[in-house]
Amino acid sequence: QLSTSQPSPERVPSPEEREWAGPEALCPGWLEDEAPDGEVPADSGDPDCATHAYERLQSALSQEGLPPTLDCSAEPRTGFGPLDMTVCILGSPTAFLSVLLEGGTRCPGAMVLCLSPTWASRVPSEASPGAWSLLLSRGVSFKVGGHSALETFVPPRRANYVTGTFAPGDPEGGWVGELARDLDCPTGGSVPLAHRLEDTLVTRWVLAARANLPVPPTLAFVLGARGDLPAEPAAPGVRLVRLEDPQGQQSLVLEEVGAFLGGTAMEPYGQVGTGGVGGVGGTGGHGEARGCTQVVG
């Protein structure tokens, strides 16, 4: 039975909720550099897309039924010392939203989202020579009930733990990886690690050869040496076929694929057929052709 009740009227936001952080709060002076004839430059004075990222955050909060972010940046927060907990999330406002919300509930104010490289700086570490400390001058902090606030920190707030969107294809991956490089605090990843985790062949080889964990039967064709995949130790369940030149080796490829699909390792997958044949393209940072990989299984 369908309900015939009328939808409730749209709730009118309170004046406090209307105080959302606009572009001027995100990037002070964003309208100062005007183009000739009074036209605003194409990038709106926001080259690092902080405004766009902030709008995505507001959209995500709205979809979850949570209040919009309040702009508290006019009154800088002070009093943070080296022992105060600061968990910094760099980059995408949506990838770690659940972490930010849960962290805001358990440790109100300790979770800080950094949406722009201009909101943070790196300084030589006083405790670890050769490393760097990450200082936050601005960020979106999360509190109980999904409440969030755009805040400025004077003096800048030191991060005790850092993670973020390190995915190679992510638009923010460049500056996130640079800010998180060689820090004196624990980090939840890195760009090189993200590259390796996205490489199906490397991931399976590490799991099988280094951790002795079972992986799906795998046949992989690679071009060139692929120095990141040493010949020893062997990876159980992974057969690696190195091709010096893809031209004229079709018969070898067909022979290897036929033997692989007809082997005992693939017997449990007999009902799947050949639907498990897939490709992982791209150079993976190993040269123009050397990193191209085709994975079966």
* Domain end among 125, 160, 189: 189
Q: How many CB atoms lie within 10 A of CB 104?
A: 21
* Domain end among 158, 189, 220: 189
Q: Most confidently modeled of 131-135, 222-226, 291-295? A: 131-135
Does residue 53 sit in helix, strand or coil?
A: helix
Q: What's residue 82's pLDDT?
A: 73
32 assigned to some structural domain: no
Give yes or no: residues 176 and 133 share one domain. Answer: yes
Give yes or no: residues 81 and 177 share one domain. Answer: yes
Q: How many CB atoms lie within 10 A of CB 295?
A: 20
Q: CA nearest 113: which of 133, 135, 90?
A: 90
53 within 8 A of 93, measured Cβ to Cβ = yes
Say if residue 1's pLDDT is above 90. Answer: no
- Greater model confidence, 251 or 33: 251
The separation between the first and the last C-alpha atoms of the chain, rounded to the nearest angstrom, is 48
9 assigned to some structural domain: no
141 within 8 A of 148, measured Cβ to Cβ = yes
- Greater model confidence, 292 or 79: 79
Give yes or no: residues 234 and 103 share one domain. Answer: no
40 assigned to some structural domain: no
Tokens matching residue 84: 């105060």
Strand partners, 32: none
Tokens matching residue 206: 């590490």
* Domain end among 189, 223, 258: 189
8 assigned to some structural domain: no
**CA 77: distance to chain centroid?**
28
Give yes or no: residues 223 and 136 share one domain. Answer: no
Cα 71-134-69 angle, rounded to 5 deg: 15
Q: What's residue 43's pLDDT?
A: 33
* Structural domain boundaries enclosing 76: 47-189
254 assigned to some structural domain: yes
Give yes or no: residues 52 and 167 share one domain. Answer: yes
Give yes or no: residues 69 and 182 share one domain. Answer: yes
Pairing state of beta strands 87-90 and 161-164? Answer: parallel
28 assigned to some structural domain: no
Q: CA nearest 164: which of 84, 86, 61, 95?
A: 95
Tokens matching residue 111: 């979770």
Give yes or no: residues 152 and 265 share one domain. Answer: no
Q: What share of the chain is helix, strand, coil (3-state, %, to 5)?
A: 30, 20, 50
Buried b (16+ CB within 10 A) or exposed e, 179-192: bbeebbbebbbbbe
Give yes or no: residues 204 and 223 share one domain. Answer: yes
Question: Tens digit of pLDDT for each residue in 118-154?
Answer: 999 999 999 899 999 999 999 999 999 999 999 999 9
Give yes or no: residues 109 and 217 share one domain. Answer: no
Say if residue 195's pLDDT is above 70. Answer: yes
Tell me what the mean pLDDT of segment 74-103 comes to: 90
What total of structural domains would you count in the chain? Answer: 2
Give yes or no: residues 69 and 119 share one domain. Answer: yes
105 assigned to some structural domain: yes
Question: Residue 120 and residue 137: Cα distance in Å, rounded?
Answer: 6
Q: What's residue 20's pLDDT?
A: 41
38 assigned to some structural domain: no
H-helix or E-strand containing 140? strand 132-142
> How sure is the predictor about 291, in pLDDT bands with cuts at 50, 70 and 90?
very low
Question: Tens digit of pLDDT for each residue in 175-187?
Answer: 888 899 999 999 9
Give yes or no: residues 61 and 103 share one domain. Answer: yes
- The pLDDT mean for the chain works out to 75
Give yes or no: residues 178 and 204 share one domain. Answer: no
